[in-house]
A and B are shown apart, each in its own frame.
Chain A
Amino acid sequence: MKRKIIDKIMQFLIYTSGVLVCFVLLIILGYIVLKGISSLSLDFFIRLPKPVGEVGGGMVNAIVGSFILVLLSTLWSVPIGVLSGVYLAESSSSAKPSNFSSVLRFLLDVLSGVPSIVIGIFAYSLIVLPMKKFSAIAGSFALGIIMLPTITRTAEEMIKMVPRSIKEASLALGINYWKTVFFVILNTAKPGILTGILIAVARIFGETAPLLFTAFGNRFWHRSLFEPIAALPLQIFAYAISPYDDWHKQAWAGALILILIVYIIIFMSRKILLKYR
């Protein structure tokens, strides 16, 4: 009898934890949606920030800035990441796997665990100090590093999942090795790699810590990539810790937009994954 009761209690607790997590998500998202929608206005999407303490203005520069930062980070880290992935996959399929590739694999694992704030101070010393300028470049350098492990490892895994027969068939047809990799193997692995890239993008879109000392924020339009640039998460942070009611409202609106963007990207990645599985 006692065993039965314990069994029932434990089962109940297990079910409860499942319900609890849904509930937590609901109250967090609920707040963001309610507060966000009530604070949204057209101005938010089309205006620059107003002076401190004055009501009004928007975050258009931060929204655009975030997209530019993410685009720039993707531009450098995707080619490097995917090619590194090709290298890792190819070297592991060759007769004598090099020490270098196992070291790299280990280091990428290490990198994926490094807190983003540490990447931020690294980018500050490596890019901001020598260039003597906070800039979009420095920000996207930091964000790209964060993307690198995810992209490289998914590229490697996805390439390895491509059946050997496809590769062999292509080579047997007399197609160059590099063309085989580029057009046959990468093409087959594309959906998987794309999913990996999207997951990485979804993550860096909301990253704030590495931008604090690199992109730095800007209350106007940036004029070039070699200048400080506004970013949505940075602006939310600055407004959240401020004492102004109107800025709090804008922070909620910003949070809603940010989370929508992130969710759309996650949704896209799932869609691709399901479609090609």
Chain B
Amino acid sequence: MEYHELYAKEKRHQKIINFLKYAFLTFWALVVLFPFYWMILSSLKSYSAYNSEYIPQFITLEPTLENYAYALNEVPLADYFVNTLIFTLLTTIIMLIVTILAAYAFARLNFKGKNLLFTACLALMMIPNELVIITNFVTITDWNMRNTFLGLILPSVTSVFYIYLLKENFAAVPDELYYAAKVDGTSDLKYLFKVLLPICKPTVITVAILKIIECWNSYVWPRLITDDENYFLVSNGIQAIRESGFGRENIPAMMAAVVMISLPLIILFLLFRKKIMAGVSRGGLKG
């Protein structure tokens, strides 16, 4: 009998703890999601409805898309999008080519001073961006590359960490494959592209996605290097909207712009959730 009582008590206890756990987790999930909800909600309220609220409303009965049209027409948001897309894609592609070649040299080829050079590269990982950005700003200015895509892209290409990540992955591929390819007379370049890259595709994709996220959200460098609206990226665009607004402070239109800017990455995230989370836990740099 005592046992039954104890068992029942333990069960009750367990239930309460479980409830508290879920309550806590749900609360935090709401804290995370609420800003997103508020952003979408506000973007659907009309300007007059938003500004005539005496009490902030949690739902809207007259959703409207006028803010989206307004945001797209009043500021060149579409151009910012295209700029960001060009910047992100070119930077990622150049970074991939440069990084893959270097990682291959470190992982597969032999040369004098390889270990020393690799260690030196790893040491460079510790250099904070803030320390080098000043000279890079001067360099790009001297090269007359302010307000150009090249000026935006070039300093953003280098990523020692991704060289390291890919090198580790390349080195894990069995040597036999390489020697077999060599016996068949395959060149290094062909081996890299036909054999190694297909095997290491998951890591390459992870690296590419991480870089895309980084590029899409970059703000500091583009702000320094562009003051011509024609070269603004979305971050700078949203900041410009924040500072000078749409002539008047139009929060719903601002939120519509924010929704449009956030959406591409959220879709990318939902598509590649597992890859992104695994990649970030291996080498996330933000946080």
A, B co-complexed: no
